[in-house]
Amino acid sequence: MASAAPVAAAVLAATLALAAPRATGEGRAIAMPDAPRQRELVALLHQDCGSCHGLRLTGGLGPPLTSDALRAKSEESLVATILSGRPGTAMPPWRRFVSEPEARWLVARMLAGASRER
Ligand code: HEC
């Protein structure tokens, strides 16, 4: 088993390289969900979030999640709203379903115009 250690180290290094956050245009690191998870998150956005925010995310029971509506807001507060919800309103917490990097990715996706996808 003496040869197992270098192999384990190589696997760990590869895993860390895959998990390493990538830099965005703004110079801020966000971890990218992998492609299958991105498809799940997009489906969640349009179906689950869309049930309150409108199927085209242009607003319903919840406010619009269009790039125009969100551009001026703090990204941190939008991420916090997704993870923790807004107590006292219909906005539920999504922490059990999406991780913090995934919430960041969703915010970036909404700012990039997810409302125009459907
Ligand atoms: C059960 C209804 C409901 C669902 C489902 C829901 N939301 Fe909300 N959401 C709301 C309401 C209502 C508000 C406004 C809360 C308030 O009055 O501050 C809100 C607010 C928000 C805000 C803040 C918008 C702003 O202009 O500040 C974001 C971002 C948001 N929701 C994203 C999401 C995402 C992403 C999902 C799906 C993962 C989701 N919501 C699912 C009802 C919902």
Alpha helix (H) residue ranges in the chain: 4-19, 35-44, 50-53, 67-70, 75-84, 100-111
Q: Confirm whether 28 is domain-assigned.
A: no
Cβ of residue 61 lying under 6 Å from some atom of ligand 1: yes
Domain count, the chain: 1
Q: Confirm whether 61 is domain-assigned.
A: yes
Tell me, rounded to whole angstroms, the distance of Cα 48 from its chain centroid: 14
Q: Encode the chain (118 residues) as per-residue pLDDT tens digits.
A: 445 555 444 444 444 344 444 444 455 566 799 999 999 999 999 999 999 999 999 999 999 999 999 999 999 999 999 999 999 999 999 999 999 999 999 999 999 999 998 7
Q: Confirm whether 16 is domain-assigned.
A: no
What atom of ligand 1 comes closest to residue 78's alpha carbon? 29
**Candidate of 40, 46, 53 to mutate for ligand 1, largest count of ligand atoms within 8 Å of Cβ:** 53
Instruction: Identify the domain containing residue 100 by its residue range.
Output: 35-116
If we measure between CA atoms, which residue out of 82, 85, 72, 73 comes closest to residue 105? 82
Question: Domain of 71: which CATH number?
Answer: 1.10.760.10
The pLDDT of residue 28: 59
Q: Confirm whether 2 is domain-assigned.
A: no
Q: Confirm whether 14 is domain-assigned.
A: no
Encoded tokens for 45: 């956005």
The pLDDT of residue 49: 98
